[in-house]
Structure 1
Amino acid sequence: MLRELAADLVDLILDWGYLGVFVLMTIESSFIPFPSEIVLIPAGYLASKGEMHIGMIMLSALGGSMIGAFINYYLALLLGRKILSKYGKYFFIKENALQKMDDYFEKHGHISTFIGRLLPGIRQLISIPAGLARMNLAVFSIYTALGASLWAFILVMLGYTIGENQELLDAYLKQITFVVVVILVLLALWYIRYQKNKKGV
């Protein structure tokens, strides 16, 4: 089924070109999350055949990811905040919990956003707490772009170098995801240690 979906996406991207990558990554990054690898790996494969350009794929993917992230951010900021403020008490969410979230994202929003954009299952959702916490938009944009660009580059290059070999794709994607998660855990531990040392000075 996944192989058929990938084949259909290759055809769709081939028909729509960079607009297809942009639209699919906008959807992937916002309200209908699905694995970005089923968009960017086929796009990378098309680049290896000379039918697309890696630079344009990256721009389209980044543009779509940012639009999708902004959709979630502003929905959470404009609607979610009001809903939680008004009805949060019925779900045992107190007003001071929102203040704590605000304080957390003001201090640690940059690292949380960057790490979140690289974690499977979380990358699409990290924009929601950032919006709820009214995270600084410029900081949110920079670290969302950094995380989204890095992940997109990994997937595009995976498709470019391995192409249609599904077994190799599955194996390498699992290995890459594992390595990324380990690196992010180490980054998070370093950041926690850095913050403790900073407080101790």
Structure 2
Amino acid sequence: MLEKFIALVAAWIISVISTMGYGGIVLLMAIESACIPLPSEIIMPFAGFLVSKGEMSLLGIALAGALGCVIGSIPAYYVGMFGGRPLAERYGKYLLISKRDLDWADNAFAKHGQLIIFLGRMLPGVRTFIAFPAGVARMNMSKFIIYTFIGSFIWCWLLGYAGMKTGEHWEDLKVYFHEFHYVIIGAGIIFLIWYVRRHFKQD
């Protein structure tokens, strides 16, 4: 069932890019960066395949992808700031989020926000949602946009390059990305266990 759904999503992505070109890449990557899990691991490698056919340029698709990421991240950032922040302050205790945790996040983004966003933009899964906590922590907007663009450009360029090199076999890349997703999920579970234990130790 999941494989059929992914196949339908992939077909739609291919259709959008084939029809809209660079504008399609901007649109799709904006959706992916607005906390909607549309796989950039399909979007950019397919665009890279079109580069191998001479229909697009590698620099062009990387710029289009990075621009889309910035566009999609801005509303997600503000949702985190104006929606997520008040909810976290009021109801966070029910999700084991204390005032101390929010202060820690604010401090982390204030001191290391550039690095968090830069690296987060190159991690599958994480990159889709990273704008929301940046908004909750009220990271400096100018820095948020700059490092979102830089990290996204590198990610889009690498995926596009991989798609360009594999050519007609670009879809084979999905297997490797799925395996990496398991690593990210495993790391997330470990962090969650550590976070819950830390919370109860504080109490």
TM range (shorter): 0.7 to 0.9
Structure 1 residues 116-155: Cα deviation after superposition (integer angstroms, max 9, x where no partner): 1111111111112111111111221222112111110001
Distance 2:7 2:168 in 1: 10
Distance 1:8 1:152, change over 3 A: same
Give the alignment's TM-score, normalised by structure 2: 0.77
Aligned length: 178
| Percentage of matched positions with identical amino acids | 41
Match of 1:24 among 28, 31, 37: 28
User: 1:1-201 counterparts in 2 under 5 A?
Assistant: 1=4, 5-166=9-170, 169-170=173-174
Which whole-Å CA distance do the structure 2 matches of 1:10 and 1:91 have between them?
A: 39
Uncovered stretches (5+) of structure 1, i.e. residues with no partner: 182-201
- Whether the 8 Å contact between 2:61 and 2:157 is mirrored in structure 1 is no
Q: TM-score, normalised by structure 1?
A: 0.77
Name which structure has the greater RCO, CA cutoff 8 Å, separation 6+: 2
Deviation string, structure 1 residues 164-186 (Cα, Å, up to 9, x no partner): 215753577579x69xx9xxxxx
Report deviation, 1:107: 1.1
Deviation at 1:7, TM superposition (A): 4.9
Q: Aligned partners of 1:43 and 1:167: how far apart in 2?
A: 11
Give structure 2 stretches of 5+ with no counterpart.
Answer: 185-203
Q: Tell me the distance in 2 between the aligned counterparts of 1:4 and 1:44.
A: 20
SS at match of 1:118: coil
Bigger proportion of residues as helix: 2
Q: Where has structure 1 moved over 4 Å in runs of 4 or more?
A: 1-5, 170-175
